[in-house]
Homo-oligomer: A and B are copies of this chain.
């Protein structure tokens, strides 16, 4: 997906929000905002919005001297979701269609995105999860997903945010784990999950976990490590969580399912859905 002009005000909003999160120094806030304005003025808008997200947070880490400004936010999200994990697991096990319930929760978990939203409180997360129980996913789409998972031999599950990864664990537990590898970002960026997070919520005990070698808040293949690119090329099914992975991979010709909440008007328009909708979307080029 390319960058729309409507993304530009949002980049600046995100920049400011991230700057305030990482530092109390107004001089740093101003420096970061000016640098992002400068970079955005010459940005190639044919690239995905994830590229700008990567640049913003790279510059933020450089200017603040803090290699992982969201570490505390990430720990809190993981811990909080691990607390509710047993209840969510009971829900999955008690559901008439446990796979469908786990998919619904995995998508609902995608609300925990500190890029697309500021001030994400516990209440909003609880509400998203509660609502997700009632949201019907297309039975056809679930059947198709199940069929592709059964057919595949080598599946990459691309994770997105901390907290959310606990919901991914619920879905992984419903899938044939022997053929799945879970993928996280190669470096801290926003509240996205890295290896340490996958380990802390127990995903690393379920399936192999690799990182993509990149600090983009999505999957920009050109930014990923050669090792990850080889794995990506070899995989015959990709399960991609979240808006960043959708933005950066929506034009790929891989066999791919996107699981996300549409959290901004641009994505909603691109997916032809309303804001806040839980999306299970097959790759378009297939």
Contact = CB atoms under 8 A, between A and B. Distances in A.
Interface string A38-67: 101110010000000000000000000000
A175 interface: no
Which A-B residue pairs are the 7 nearest by beta carbons? A37-B41, A9-B12, A9-B13, A38-B41, A9-B9, A37-B40, A8-B12
Contacts of A19: 5
A121 interface: no
A273 interface: no
Interface in A151-183: none
A30 interface: yes
Q: Within the oligomer, what is the number of copies of this chain?
A: 2
A34 interface: yes
A12 B12 CA distance: 8
Interface residues of A, number: 21
16 contacts: A5-B16, A5-B26, A8-B12, A8-B16, A8-B37, A9-B9, A9-B10, A9-B12, A9-B13, A9-B16, A30-B45, A35-B41, A37-B38, A37-B40, A38-B38, A38-B41
B16 A33 contact: no
A261 interface: no
A149 to B, nearest CB: 40
A6 interface: yes
Which of A9, A10, A33, A42 neighbours the largest number of chain B CB atoms within 10 Å of its CB? A9
A29 interface: yes
Contact of A16 (B6, B34, B41): B6
Nearest to A13: B9
A33 B5 CA distance: 8
Nearest to A8: B12
Interface string A223-255: 000000000000000000000000000000000
Given A8-B12, A12-B12, 7 more contacts: A5-B16, A5-B29, A6-B16, A8-B16, A8-B33, A9-B12, A9-B16
A29 B5 CA distance: 8
